[in-house]
Structure 1
Amino acid sequence: MATAVAMLATSASGAVAANPDSPEQALEQAAVVMDGATLFVVRSPLGFPASERAAGIAKRIEAAARDRSIDPAFVRTGTVAGMTAIFAGPARIMVVSDADAQAAETTVEALAGAAEDRVRSAIIDYRVARSPERVRNATLLALTATVLFLVAAAVSVWLTIRLRRGIEHALHPRVQTLGFQSFAIVRAEHIRAVLSGILKFVGLLVLLALTFAWLVYVLDLFPWTIGVGNALLEHVVTPLTTLGRDFLAAIPNLIFLAILYFIFRSALRIVRLFFDAVEQGRVKLQNFEPEWAMPTYKIVRLAIIAFALVIAYPYVPGSSSAAFKGVSLFLGVVFSLGSSGAISNIIAGYMMTYRRAFRVGDRVKIGEVTGEITAVRLQVSHLRTMKNEEVVIPNSQIINSHVVNYTTLARKDGLLLHTSVQIGYNTPWRQVEAMLLEAAHRTEGLVAAPKPFVLQTKLGDFAIIYELNVGCDDPRRMHELYSALHRNILDVFNEYGVSIVTPAYEGDPETPKVVPREKWFSPPAKADNEDQAA
């Protein structure tokens, strides 16, 4: 009998030793509950719902307990239609099936004897809990608990208010506006409001905890509400217990993650120090430019972090759950769909860095935009044009278009500026070249080497195209020098009476299309000292 009682208690707690291959374990099971206490667990015979069977047994036990004519001593085991049953007086309470016995790993007779003891105890407990003396004592305890709760709640509210005022009085003078220079990021009154809100929230939590404890205690005093109290306690305590148990189980993994964090953080610091030394020239690597140091460090840092995440992932609490994997997959898909353009720009930015297409301060032409590089970032590059306009160009667009860098070779060999004119065949080419060289000689700011030279690039239908090439050592002045060079070319050709033919040439005019020297400074033009000297 003792073994059967132990088996029945184990079944009631829901921890029956189960064989997964046993057909009995596939049957539905439900607990028989009286006044919030589980008596035992029953199975569903022949597809009959176990919950309905358990509810019926509980109702019959309660009916027998309410019938004062039934003596608990008359609870017995009997047979009906060849099956073992539990009786309370003349009323049949339940039938003990073979499935129940097999699931409990005992005999029908032993299980029926244990169930008989449970039913008898349930009837006795039911009547005792509802006796006038017990109800009177429970009412007195409830009233006492209510008074104590009200006093504790009032004291809690009073202490919370005093504590909040004391903390606010001590901290408020020390709370300053959080900002950068003259820009206020978070104002002091906002910080004070947040601190006050936190203190109010803590006080509310204390009050809720007191209310919960009082409510559960009072509900457990009366047999009619003990089930509600147990359910309320289970809904609140079970999640907290689960969280606490999971946290304790995760402590070894959290320790491992903390150690891993400090190891990889130290590794990143060492790598950063190394690349800082490379950038500053204290460490030199063969065929490795110092400006590559920081971009390379960012790549290495990303690889180290990715490697650390791969190692840490199995130790992250909840990483093996289906929900965690689903959320990770969803975020990965969203990131891949939304960042394709950004990633392509980042890759293009690194490609430009290692190709050394340009650097900050270079004068370049990208597509139709000419300007000075002011910043090269991972996704975009910034240019400042001659008109002081800032142009932002995606790196992926730069990598797919041609880039003209005026500065790279100009630092060492200088930059050749070139311009062309069309002169008719009736003008000697030697005279034209001499005039172009004279215009170059008059232009200030050009370098002596390489010397200016002229190329005849094309013998056209009506004119010869001459190209004047001059040297420049500062690409930032190229537009200024072009303008000065063009002005001098016009002056020299006007001096010698040579017309510059346009593409719409149809025939030679009777008189050359030149501007006489006496009309060079027609109003509102004014000659400066250099022009008057010339």
Structure 2
Amino acid sequence: MHYLKNALPRVLLASIFMLLSLAAAAAENAVSPIQPVDAPAVDAAPVIVNGEPLFRVRGVTAYPASQRSAVISKRIEDLARDKTFDPASLAATDKGDFTMIMAGEKLVVAIYEEDARLESISRQVLVNVYLEKIRRVIQDYRNDRKPDVILKAALYAIAATLALLAVVYGLIVLFRRINGLLEMRFRKRIEEFEIKSLRLVQAHQIWAGAVAIVKVIRALLLLSLLYIYLELVLGLFPWTRWLARELLDYVADPLLVMGRAFVAYLPKLFFLIVLVLVVRFVLKLIHVFFDAIAEGRVHFANFEQEWAWPTYRIVRFVFLAFMLVIAYPYIPGSDSDAFKGVSLFLGVLFSLGSSSVLSNVIAGYSMTYRRAFKVGDRVRIDNTFGDVVEMSVLVTHILTPKNERVVIPNSKILNNEVINYSAMARDKGLILHTTVGIGYETSWRQVEAMLLMAAERTSGLRPNSKAFVLQKSLGDFAVNYELNVYSDDPRSMNRQYTELHRNILDVFNEYGVQIMTPAYEGDTPEPKVVPKDQWYAAPAQAPSAK
């Protein structure tokens, strides 16, 4: 069987070509760095019979090469199917400007000077070559379709399938052992190297890269086996032999193109690798520097510790943007019109859709450097009151006393007033104040003394800070007094207000003074106070009873 005799050399040739395609591309680039001027393309097409290309023929405008080759292929196949035809009876007839190969009275192919010029040989030599090839392919066409040959090809295909399954199973077992060996010996060394490099080298990244390389090698081996299997099995049968012939071109052409492109790109790739290593090292140094500032090991005048990480993010962004500008010309395809068009399109999308995002980012950094508040502060932003639990470049999270988590965009915070109770408490103390209205018949001195007594009874206030009373206004029926006390715990504002109000009520009840706010209708026969013996009326319990 003709194809089986040449199957193994062809498979080996295909395998070697796949493995050495990159080297061939490199050699080609090295030998001919100057690209020659392209020659005019010649309209030529191969004559394919029994899945094998015999020779090429040239075409003209009125009679294209593809049409001419198809007609010649059909003539030869018709002769091969005609078992009464003897290939030895093929003869050449010279007609002066061209030569005809005849099968009796039937024309097989006409050979012109242009066909000989295409092969760079004389027309007579080309005629002899065509005669030999046509006779051989007719004989092969008939032999390959004999029942015993087809049966033998089927047995070869079954054997090749079993061999493929066995080799694939062996590869799977082999790579499992390789993975186990790497896990036992290689991973521990990587972790030790990470410790020795002071964490500049990340062990998990190196390990992930090693595993990926093993997977890629395994995939390439499996694909190569599958390719060799298909090349062999498809070539065993005459009906699929054409596909086996073209399979090499399907695989080799993309590999050759990629190989040439890769070899041409190697200098730029090396530059990018060095640039990435330098960028990673510099970013690591920058991170260590700002980490020292954040932890207080490095100090600068007028530079707060909480500015360390926001400033680090700004410096990192500017540095990466600068490095991207340097790396841009070395990115594959960066000089192509398609790449430029996509870049422009993405830039337009970013500019249209990121206006609110950018405003929030700018507002977030503006608040950081203005020191409006920090995480843990109790603030009031517009109508939201609570503790700052999280700050990001886009939004700020506030936890209210009612355990509600409110997310506020930074741009909104920048456009509204912010009251920072914690900042006031850290400085001179937060002033809590409340107002009561007392009738004109009660001495203001007594009222102020009672209010100060209520302040003294309130726990948790700022020590060494004296409370004071202001007379806010002289109303129609009462004098409005404002009690002011100092607190250094803004988180306890609600509790302190509650306790302060309770103490005010108790003191005024003790001294029989009626509180006339919030409204006054008229004097009652008895002052509207709670007698002391009624302070703990049911269901309330006195402190001694608890």
Matches within 5 A, 1:253-264: 253-264=268-279
Task: Look up the match of 2:437.
Answer: 422
Q: Which amino acid aligns with 2:495?
A: E
Matches within 5 A, 1:454-469: 454-469=469-484
Matches within 5 A, 1:431-450: 431-447=446-462, 449-450=464-465
Q: 1:159 aligns with which of 170, 181, 190?
A: 170
Deviations 1:226-270 (A, max 9, x none): 533222221233223333333333322221111011111111122
Q: Secondary structure at the match of 1:74?
A: strand
Task: Look up the match of 1:6.
Answer: none
Matched, 1:218 2:236: yes
Task: Look up the match of 2:17.
Answer: none
Q: 2:93 aligns with which of 56, 59, 74?
A: 74
Distance 1:53 1:137 in 2: 26
Task: Look up the match of 1:31.
Answer: 45
- Gaps (5+ residues) in structure 1? 1-14, 20-24, 79-84, 102-107, 175-193
Q: 1:130 to 1:376 in 2, by over 3 A?
A: same
Task: Look up the match of 1:273.
Answer: 288
Decide whether the 8 Å contact of 1:494 with 1:514 is kept in 2: yes
Q: 1:283 to 1:170 in 2, by over 3 A?
A: closer
Task: Look up the match of 1:487.
Answer: 502
Larger deviation: 333-342 or 369-378?
333-342
Distance 1:38 1:95 in 2: 11
Task: Look up the match of 2:160.
Answer: 149
Q: 2:303 aligns with which of 284, 288, 292?
A: 288
Q: 1:109 to 1:163 in 2, by over 3 A?
A: closer
Q: Which amino acid aligns with 2:56?
A: L
Matched, 1:511 2:526: yes
Matched, 1:131 2:139: yes
Q: Secondary structure at the match of 1:44?
A: coil
Decide whether the 8 Å contact of 1:371 with 1:384 is kept in 2: yes
Task: Look up the match of 1:239.
Answer: 254
Decide whether the 8 Å contact of 2:364 with 2:394 is kept in 1: yes
Shift of residue 354, structure 1, vs aligned partner = 0.9
Q: Secondary structure at the match of 2:500?
A: helix
Q: Indicate the RMSD between aligned Cα atoms, in angstroms.
A: 4.7
Distance 1:339 1:33 in 2: 60
Distance 1:470 1:133 in 2: 110
Q: 1:117 to 1:309 in 2, by over 3 A?
A: farther
Larger deviation: 373-382 or 267-276?
373-382
TM value normalised by structure 1: 0.72
Deviations 1:331-363 (A, max 9, x none): 666666666655444333222211111122322
Q: Which amino acid aligns with 1:122?
A: Y
Task: Look up the match of 1:500.
Answer: 515
Q: 1:316 aligns with which of 324, 331, 348?
A: 331
Distance 1:115 1:499 in 2: 132
Q: 1:418 to 1:125 in 2, by over 3 A?
A: same
Q: Secondary structure at the match of 2:47?
A: strand
Task: Look up the match of 2:61.
Answer: 44
Q: 1:423 to 1:238 in 2, by over 3 A?
A: same
Task: Look up the match of 2:314.
Answer: 299
Identity %, equivalent residues: 46
Residues matched between the structures, number: 475
Q: Secondary structure at the match of 2:329?
A: helix
Decide whether the 8 Å contact of 2:425 with 2:488 is kept in 1: yes
Between the two structures, name the one with larger relative contact order (CA 8 Å, sep ≥ 6). 2
Shift of residue 371, structure 1, vs aligned partner = 2.6
Larger deviation: 119-128 or 134-143?
134-143
Task: Look up the match of 2:129.
Answer: 121
Decide whether the 8 Å contact of 1:77 with 1:112 is kept in 2: no
Q: Secondary structure at the match of 2:524?
A: coil
Q: Which amino acid aligns with 2:382?
A: G
Decide whether the 8 Å contact of 1:72 with 1:124 is kept in 2: no
Decide whether the 8 Å contact of 1:75 with 1:116 is kept in 2: no
Larger deviation: 36-45 or 114-123?
114-123
Deviations 1:279-307 (A, max 9, x none): 23333323211211111011111222222
Distance 1:383 1:337 in 2: 30
Decide whether the 8 Å contact of 2:231 with 2:247 is kept in 1: no
Shift of residue 225, structure 1, vs aligned partner = 5.6
Distance 1:75 1:59 in 2: 23
Decide whether the 8 Å contact of 2:387 with 2:400 is kept in 1: yes
Q: 1:67 to 1:457 in 2, by over 3 A?
A: farther
Task: Look up the match of 1:378.
Answer: 393
Q: 2:227 aligns with which of 205, 209, 212?
A: 209
Q: Secondary structure at the match of 1:417?
A: strand
Q: Secondary structure at the match of 1:39?
A: strand
Q: Which amino acid aligns with 1:211?
A: Y
Distance 2:493 2:166 in 1: 83
Decide whether the 8 Å contact of 1:145 with 1:214 is kept in 2: no
Q: 1:266 to 1:144 in 2, by over 3 A?
A: same
Q: Which amino acid aligns with 2:229?
A: T
Distance 1:110 1:230 in 2: 23
Q: 1:338 to 1:125 in 2, by over 3 A?
A: same
Task: Look up the match of 1:82.
Answer: none
Matched, 1:527 2:542: yes
TM value normalised by structure 2: 0.71
Shift of residue 428, structure 1, vs aligned partner = 4.2
Q: Which amino acid aligns with 1:469?
A: N
Distance 1:379 1:133 in 2: 75
Shift of residue 323, structure 1, vs aligned partner = 5.6
Distance 1:458 1:29 in 2: 106
Decide whether the 8 Å contact of 1:28 with 1:43 is kept in 2: no
Deviations 1:130-165 (A, max 9, x none): 226994799599589657635633642563475478
